[in-house]
Amino acid sequence: MKKCIVLLAIFLLTACQSQTSDETTQEQVVPQAQATETNGREVAYQQDPKPENIKTKAQKSVGEQLLSNYASFTLTSDLSGLNENQKQMIGYLIEAAKIMDDLFWLQSYGDKNDLLEGIKDPALKRYAAINYGPWDRLQGDEPFLEGYGEKPLGARFYPPEMTKQEFNEQATDALRDLYTLVRTDEQGQLQAIPYHVAYEQALLQAAEWLNKAAELAEDQGFKNYLQLRAKAILEDDYQASDLAWLDMKNNTVDVIIGPIETYEDQLFGYKAAYEAFVLIKDQAWSQKLAKFAQFLPQLQAELPVADAYKREKPGTDSDLNAYDALYYAGSSNAGSKTIAINLPNDEQVQLLKGTRRLQLKNAMHAKFEKILLPIAHELVVPEQRKHVTFDAFFANTMFHEVAHGLGIKNTLNGGGTVREALQEYASALEEGKADILGLYMVEKLHHMGELDGGELMDYYTTFMAGIFRSVRFGSSSAHGVANLLRFNYFAEHDAFNYDADSGHYSVNPEKMSAAIASLSEKILTLQGDGNYQAVKDWFDKGGQQSPQLKTALRTINAAGIPVDIVFEQGGAQLK
């Protein structure tokens, strides 16, 4: 009997990031945890199979059904502004990235060719390549190939038979190190093998590619970074190269490469997995962001809330930029795809120089086109569908990021920070604030004539469609509930109207504008008052799915809309 897998969905997130980002490292471990933001994977969850789905999927093989969870998208960018050196450099960086991909296979599963060559069914083979192994990353690592048991929690970072207790009894700094493999020696004792020893040959090759790219780099900062990074991967010491990466401001080509995130180690979260991104900076958006940052003081002063709640100076974040991704490799390419990055993770480096935040525009476009638009097609009234646009989606996402700088960080009573006062609700409410104030910024800048292109209705309607996408993600976390609170608020204030006959939603622009103002005031006041009890009550009572919304989510499921994307990438796509 065929197993019908109704996987759902997604969260493609509005790519946000909370101001405290310890979430980033937590989320991967518990699939339903919360809206993954930066760096982390977006998370799928399972819903009840629906009869409609069983019918439509019945004709497909198991492999084809699994593959239909992913929509294919070609990663490319406009390279016409690049010179020959830069184009050649990208080729070298992609070669280095491919080595990270091979190393990630070894860390996650083992021998890639052994696995793939043994799979006859082309769809299953493709699915194994997407998952870097026989376990389904959208389904909590359930095996999808016969003959495989559970995925070891420690992947290949630790001996498969090793227990947590055994590790803890012998644990040393070297065994716990981010950049060592744990193996059993001849005496049966655990030993730590540094990555640069275990993978020496491959890393020498990768360093050579990075150095070749450095020779071509015209930007001195980038050249310096590439050389330091080449050295770092051979020594497992990344600090100098991380600092150099934060110093780069003007280079168009960029690369993130090395062992970085620890999600793949679900046993302890100690071990970093190899990955790479080859990137092109979107200079036009970067300039726009710098321009909008100038309006922050004025926008803060005009926030629709009493003066006491807007007395702080707004923060600006100059290190937020837009990029197109040309290549994903290793951990970043496994399963669902990250569309925003916040690095480096090294806390010492963060204290010295902060972090850089990168929004990956073409990857976002992929999720917009393959997931958000189909959702809008199911749920938005036909006459408003034209207002669901990528430009509005991208702008809403970027303004969300900037809007984190508005409002208030400390409570009015002098008792400390909003974060401390609101505890486990702080980050969900802060994300809710950024969503709504991002839209407030759009409105203001639009009225000021500073926002080129698009009607306000585009931003509103795209925002609504984005909430459907987000609530699909579930309500098992504070972030999931925050999405529902926002949706319910707009529905209660008639900003979103539901038509029971068609099952479609529409935006009422006047009511929408009023609701943006009143919801902004509500959130800013709760934050400024640090009113934990009121926030808790709101989350407890207001975060329910209405019957209409449940129907809407069933409609999305039945339509077979993909859960995530898979990239066609590499040399041929860049010509």
Task: Give the residues lining the site for Zn ion (CB under 5 A).
Answer: 16-17, 431, 434
CB of residue 362 vs Zn ion: minimum separation in angstroms? 21
CB of residue 484 vs Zn ion: minimum separation in angstroms? 17
Q: Pick the closer one to Zn ion by CB: 388 or 434.
A: 434
Q: Pick the closer one to Zn ion by CB: 300 or 396.
A: 396
Q: Which helix (H) or strand (E) holds 229?
A: helix 220-235
CB of residue 13 vs Zn ion: minimum separation in angstroms? 9
CB of residue 404 vs Zn ion: minimum separation in angstroms? 6
Q: Pick the closer one to Zn ion by CB: 27 or 431.
A: 431
CB of residue 16 vs Zn ion: minimum separation in angstroms? 2
Q: How far is CA 324 from the centre of its chain?
A: 14
Q: Pick the closer one to Zn ion by CB: 7 or 426.
A: 426
**Rounded distance, CA 318 to CA 402, Å?**
9
Q: Pick the closer one to Zn ion by CB: 262 or 342.
A: 342
CB of residue 273 vs Zn ion: minimum separation in angstroms? 24
Q: Say if residues 14 and 466 touch (Cβ distance below 8 Å).
A: yes
Q: Pick the closer one to Zn ion by CB: 89 or 434.
A: 434
Instruction: Count Cβ atoms below 10 Å from residue 430 Cβ, excluding itself.
Output: 24
Q: Pick the closer one to Zn ion by CB: 16 or 97.
A: 16
* Ramachandran assignment for 132, one of left (phi > 0), alpha (psi -120 to 50 degrees), beta (any other): left
Residue 114 sits at the vertex; the CA angle it makes with 269 and 563, to the nearest 5 degrees, is 55
CB of residue 274 vs Zn ion: minimum separation in angstroms? 27
**Rounded distance, CA 321 to CA 288, Å?**
10
Q: Pick the closer one to Zn ion by CB: 16 or 426.
A: 16
Q: Pick the closer one to Zn ion by CB: 107 or 359.
A: 359
**Could you tell me the two tokens for 383?**
């006459």
Q: Say if residues 259 and 195 touch (Cβ distance below 8 Å).
A: yes
CB of residue 528 vs Zn ion: minimum separation in angstroms? 19
CB of residue 546 vs Zn ion: minimum separation in angstroms? 25
Per the listing, tokens 């060559």 go with 117
**Rounded distance, CA 564 to CA 418, Å?**
35
Instruction: Count Cβ atoms below 10 Å from residue 147 Cβ, excluding itself.
Output: 7
**Rounded distance, CA 163 to CA 232, Å?**
31
Q: Pick the closer one to Zn ion by CB: 317 or 369.
A: 317
φ, ψ for residue 21, nearest 5 deg: -115, 40
CB of residue 19 vs Zn ion: minimum separation in angstroms? 8
CB of residue 262 vs Zn ion: minimum separation in angstroms? 22
**Rounded distance, CA 104 to CA 571, Å?**
21
CB of residue 387 vs Zn ion: minimum separation in angstroms? 23
CB of residue 383 vs Zn ion: minimum separation in angstroms? 31
Q: Pick the closer one to Zn ion by CB: 17 or 139.
A: 17
Q: Pick the closer one to Zn ion by CB: 86 or 396.
A: 396
Residues in the chain: 575
Closest CA to 378 of 564, 561, 562: 561
Instruction: Count Cβ atoms below 10 Å from residue 189 Cβ, excluding itself.
Output: 9
The half-sphere exposure of 329 on its side-chain side, counting CA atoms within 13 A, is: 27
Q: Say if residues 562 and 375 touch (Cβ distance below 8 Å).
A: no
470: CB partners within 8 A, 6+ apart: 11, 13, 14, 35, 483
DSSP letters, 252-289, are SEEEEEEEEE-TT-TTTS-PPEEEEEEEEE-HHHHHHH
- Longest Cα–Cα distance of the chain, Å, equals 74
Q: At what angle do helices 426-447 and 478-492 cross, to 10 degrees?
A: 40
| Nearest residue to the partner Zn ion, using Cβ | 16
**Rounded distance, CA 533 to CA 574, Å?**
54
φ, ψ for residue 303, nearest 5 deg: -55, 140
DSSP letters, 167-187, are HHHH--HHHH-TTEEEEE-TT
Q: Pick the closer one to Zn ion by CB: 261 or 431.
A: 431
